[in-house]
Every structure is written in structure tokens, then in C-alpha cells.
């Protein structure tokens, strides 16, 4: 019975990543592209925080590879960034989970900013530097959306008994 629940829970976790991917590729007007948060990374952070034994650096690697393909990026670029974010989140998950939402928001901002920093550095190394200040804006938008995403996914986890 327990393994059936885990398989069912895994499907819901995968579905949350698929929805995040759809939000990541949803067409937006040119002016709004700079405001698009890193949905896949935010969902990854949530699942690593609440279920680090199930959603770990291996899942982060797969999520990153999907982002590499979707963004037409160098293979491994987003994967490395996702793995590093997942690793930091796993190391700090016991502390972060007990933080009040105001502190969690700041931690998520730091994690999203770190993710973007890794991508920024890797793109600079391969000769595609980003010279826009707006490049950092998605981290702040993600920080503002974190409380709502957290509540939605937490309720989803409770409703579907994902453990």
C-alpha cells in the first residue's frame, strides 16, 4: 500500500514540474519576458525543502537538462545550476523549513540569485555575456511569488498525500 502512495505522489510531483515548465515557456510580450520568474527552479526548491529524500540532486540534474533543452542552452548549463541550488537547499532544508515566511522569502531570493549567477558565469565563459541589469529581475519576481507558490504546493501536497 505504501509503495502505491509513493508512485501516486511521484506523479503529482512530476505534474507540478510539467506545469512549471509550461509557465516557463508560455509566450509573453517582449516587455514582460524580463519579469518571468524561474518557475522550474522555484518548484525544485519547494520539493527539495519538503521532500529532500525524494527530490534531490539527481532530480535537479534532470530538471536542469530539461531547462537546457527548452532554453536552447549549452547542455549542462542549467543542470549544473539546478544541482548546486538543490545541494545548498538540501544542506539547509532543516533550518529553512522552520523559518518564518519573511525569512524564507529572502533565502529563496538568494537561491534564485545564485542560480542566475551560475548561468551568468557559464554564459560569460562560453562567450555569451549578459550586460543587462534586467537579467536579475526574475529573482526578485520569484521572491515575491514564493509565498503563493509555497501555499499552493503545500496544499497540493496535503490534498494528494504526497510523502
Residue 22: give the domain boundaries: 2-159
Asked whether the beta carbons of 77 and 122 are under 8 A apart, the reply is yes
Tell me, yes or no, if the pTM score tops 0.75. yes
Q: What per-residue confidence (pLDDT) applies to 103?
A: 97
Averaged over 130-159, what is the pLDDT? 93
pLDDT at residue 67 above 50?
yes
Total domain count, the chain: 1
Q: Yes or no: say if 127 and 78 are a contact pair by the CB < 8 Å rule.
A: no
Amino acid at each position: 500500500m505504501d509503495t502505491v502512495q509513493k508512485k501516486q505522489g511521484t506523479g503529482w510531483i512530476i505534474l507540478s514540474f510539467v506545469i512549471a515548465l509550461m509557465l516557463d515557456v508560455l509566450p509573453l510580450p517582449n516587455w514582460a519576458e524580463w519579469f518571468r520568474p524561474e518557475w522550474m527552479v522555484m518548484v525544485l526548491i519547494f520539493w527539495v525543502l519538503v521532500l529532500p529524500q525524494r527530490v534531490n540532486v539527481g532530480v535537479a540534474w534532470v530538471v536542469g537538462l530539461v531547462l537546457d533543452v527548452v532554453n536552447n542552452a549549452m547542455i549542462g548549463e542549467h543542470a549544473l545550476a539546478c544541482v548546486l541550488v538543490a545541494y545548498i537547499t538540501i544542506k539547509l532544508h532543516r533550518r529553512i523549513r522552520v523559518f518564518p515566511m519573511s525569512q524564507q522569502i529572502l533565502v529563496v531570493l538568494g537561491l534564485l540569485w545564485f542560480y542566475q549567477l551560475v548561468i551568468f558565469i557559464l554564459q560569460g565563459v562560453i562567450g555569451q555575456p549578459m550586460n543587462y541589469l534586467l537579467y536579475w529581475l526574475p529573482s526578485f519576481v520569484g521572491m515575491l511569488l514564493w509565498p503563493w507558490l509555497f501555499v499552493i504546493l503545500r496544499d497540493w501536497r496535503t490534498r494528494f498525500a504526497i510523502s
